[in-house]
Structure 1
């Protein structure tokens, strides 16, 4: 029988205890934590000395990739098991899906299949088979409170204390992309040195005053559908060396805030209470409530889809990041 694993439990620990499933599927939009868990799982499944000989990696759509079934049916070499890692199973062709389904009905006892995906439709035959035969691990984007707790803990692990106003400002500036946030926490820990405490002024100093203004101007322009202003802010950020994925994170957080503000507004929640719910200053909350009224649910859904598609396109190098981001800003402002 398949099973879900609670977030408090580690599949790597279970593997080390000898509890090895025939297939693991790690999915969800929170890439940083998903990759962390994946690396821990691979370390537990294969010792370092035999990994190169017993780990096959398959990426759907890439030329030269081997057969999932063929790799999984290959016997391990000088090890107790073989691991087949398939990244991005949402990109599997119909033929590859059928091949995978056939394998799940009769898995090889000396092989372990590890799958990853950004999205997994649990209504499909493949998802049903994975739920029945293997272990599913889901990694959703963290909510604001969980983000703050995780970042505070990450700073503590690096020997520094992250003040509450600093973590709030960091999320406001960087967005809710966990990888980018952790990267900035690491930079801040080095920045403060022996002082061992990170305040809001440290965050401002690290990212730079010009960047702070450009970020707020960009997200505000997108929220208010001011295309010309948004494109100018985007150009300024990219020319100053801003990471494209960081821009995606900022814009993604802003659209999700608009979604939450619209939902609260439709429940007739007053701005004073929305301020508490969104954990934002009153002026910012009031602006979000007003901006959300000009967007339909269909438009907001389309904006989230555009963000996801652009994020994937940048990570897979389908086109130049500035071109993709310009198209995204155009879509978000015209939605």
Structure 2
């Protein structure tokens, strides 16, 4: 039997990687992103079962906890198999759990790993402070809000699967399903399983091209590249299939803002990415788009988008006309 390594240094309190959770008698998963928390729990299970397939698993709900239960399930079993106790719902923990957990973490049971899952907030602050003081490994389970973080997530999923995906396909996938991290992970898994070779934008379009976000970005890509016929035909198809004008204008605005950020700026992609809060591939893509634009044309695009944004959000009787006008102005202002 291989007991879980015991944490003795306060350095363990620093944020641990949710893809590679360190084994310790007690581990804290903190934050509201359920997908990351579930991945972290799976990682702990996999590592412990690799050490001993007879691992005994127990789950506890900290919000509906009965006094004394933690000590009971952590006590040695008849054959002394190692144990994994997963305690979820710490954001709603009751006082019984708080008191028992505070007592337990001071002297964890041997051959037992306790994973504490806290969805965020200040409930149980006394326990959180005690865990930090003891140097318990803490895994941050925070939502990925920035597109560059989601893009990095996609790239890493493919790297771990030893597959390749081009930068534009990453962007298209984030645009199509990036609102939900679990959906984004599922999309990565599907593309990895169902395709061969380098995954391209065509592959992403085949599986996820019908999503509103992806349609909006195809319109924006064509308009910023100065391809008015493609931009307008894609726009009209989107509108005919029920896509709302609001996300269409939002996608255009995002593209124009990105081009404006890199317009006339010199420096390497990596350096600019750090300065501008973008991924290097986003800088490269924006620079390619910027090659179609002049300063006055960008100013014109920004103005027409500000007008279109107000119009599609209730400032005009015909929001469809507003977004068509914006796409036409932008696509004809850009140089082919």
Q: TM-score, normalised by structure 2?
A: 0.55
Q: Is the 8 A contact 1:58 1:84 kept in 2?
A: yes
Residues 90 and 124 of structure 1, relative CA distance in 2, 3 Å threshold: same
2:260 equivalent in structure 1? 272
Q: Is the 8 A contact 2:85 2:115 kept in 1?
A: yes
1:71 equivalent in structure 2? 73
Does 2:125 correspond to 1:116? no
1:99 equivalent in structure 2? 100
Mapping for residues 163-312 of structure 1, pairs under 5 Å: 163-193=166-196, 196-209=197-210, 211-212=211-212, 216=216, 272-273=260-261, 277=277
Give the CA deviation at 1:181: 1.4
The structure with the larger Rg is 2
Aligned residue pairs, count = 237
Residues 271 and 65 of structure 1, relative CA distance in 2, 3 Å threshold: farther
Give the CA deviation at 1:149: 2.9
Secondary structure at the aligned position of 2:62 is classed as coil
Partners of 1:206 and 1:99 in 2: CA distance:
49
CA-atom RMSD in angstroms:
4.5
Give the CA deviation at 1:288: 8.8
Does 2:40 correspond to 1:4? no
2:53 equivalent in structure 1? 49
Give the CA deviation at 1:127: 0.7
Give the CA deviation at 1:25: 0.7
Partners of 1:104 and 1:27 in 2: CA distance:
16
Residues 118 and 192 of structure 1, relative CA distance in 2, 3 Å threshold: same
Partners of 2:59 and 2:163 in 1: CA distance:
38
2:84 equivalent in structure 1? 83
Q: Is the 8 A contact 2:15 2:140 kept in 1?
A: no
Partners of 2:169 and 2:213 in 1: CA distance:
17
Secondary structure at the aligned position of 1:78 is classed as coil
